[in-house]
């Protein structure tokens, strides 16, 4: 567990409800290092979080993982709806939200985010903001619902008016197996590359 006694209690929510249209199969269940990618993430994150939820509208594929599956409350099937449902469901006042297709999560980077007290803590990597590897407080719920009512479904659309910390993160300082912790894959070719090659240290 995290060593800072004043840290705000935080749950983890894994977004696993995407359609995976370009991949052609459920990305959370792709094999990685001899086990489903979701299991790989759970093994990395379980030491950090006493509560881990899975965001998905179909619970059946995730029953083997023994975690509570949270369905959307908002009607639009998107990441923002998943974040909203996680914040409404988690027992902790904050949630570290992460996409299910990130195989190179760095626990030390997650710990650094957890130490920040803002309502929203978002890494800004070499490629830009990483809102699906970020911390959100329950105080975000009204702002998300206002954005949803206006049809604004981009994750960052509700940030205005909240205490938001954009944390500059240099990918090269947080590499795992020579890969950025924000590396993901959206197609079968991307996934093959993720598993068979790596960037330099």
Average model confidence (pLDDT) across the chain = 91
* Cα 127 from chain centre: 17
Question: Once rounded to an integer, what is the mean pLDDT over residues 82-105?
Answer: 97
Domains identified in the chain and CATH numbers: 10-195 (3.90.550.10)
Q: Assess whether pLDDT exceeds 50 at residue 39.
A: yes
55-59, 181-185, 196-200: which is most confident: 55-59
* pLDDT tier for residue 21 given thresholds of 50, 70 and 90: low
Instruction: Output the pLDDT for position 20.
Output: 60
Q: Assess whether pLDDT exceeds 90 at residue 24.
A: no
Q: Assess whether pLDDT exceeds 80 at residue 158.
A: yes
Nearest alpha carbon to residue 87 among 155, 8, 170, 144: 144
pLDDT tens for residues 2-20? 444 447 899 999 999 765 6
Determine which of 4-8, 18-22, 86-90, 97-101 has the lowest per-residue pLDDT on average. Answer: 4-8
Instruction: Output the pLDDT for position 69.
Output: 98
Instruction: Output the pLDDT for position 185.
Output: 81
Tell me the CA distances in angstroms from 5 to 9, 44, 92, 96, 143, one per residue in order.
10, 21, 15, 18, 29
Could you tell me the pTM of the whole model?
A: 0.91
What's the CA gap between 104 and 148, in Å, rounded?
Answer: 31
Instruction: Output the pLDDT for position 189.
Output: 83
pLDDT tens for residues 106-154? 999 999 999 999 999 999 999 999 999 999 999 999 999 999 999 999 9
């Amino acid at each position: 567990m995290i060593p800072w006694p004043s840290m705000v209690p935080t749950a983890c929510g894994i977004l696993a409800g995407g359609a995976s249209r370009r991949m052609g199969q459920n990305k959370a269940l792709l094999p990685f290092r001899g086990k489903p990618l979701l299991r790989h993430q759970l093994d990395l994150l379980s030491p950090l979080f006493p509560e881990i939820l899975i965001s998905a509208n179909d619970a059946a594929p995730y029953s083997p993982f023994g975690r509570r599956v949270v369905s959307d409350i908002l009607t639009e099937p998107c990441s923002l709806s998943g974040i909203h449902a996680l914040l409404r469901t988690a027992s902790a006042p904050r949630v570290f939200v992460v996409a299910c297709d990130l195989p190179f999560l760095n626990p030390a980077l997650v710990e650094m985010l957890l130490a920040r007290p803002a309502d929203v803590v978002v890494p800004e990597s070499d490629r830009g903001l990483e809102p699906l590897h970020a911390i959100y407080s329950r105080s975000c719920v009204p702002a998300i619902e206002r954005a949803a009512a206006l049809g604004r479904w981009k994750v960052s659309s509700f940030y205005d008016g909240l205490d938001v910390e954009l944390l500059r993160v240099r990918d090269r300082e947080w590499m795992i197996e020579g890969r950025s912790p924000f590396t993901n894959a959206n197609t079968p070719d991307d996934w093959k590359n993720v598993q068979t090659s790596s960037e330099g240290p």
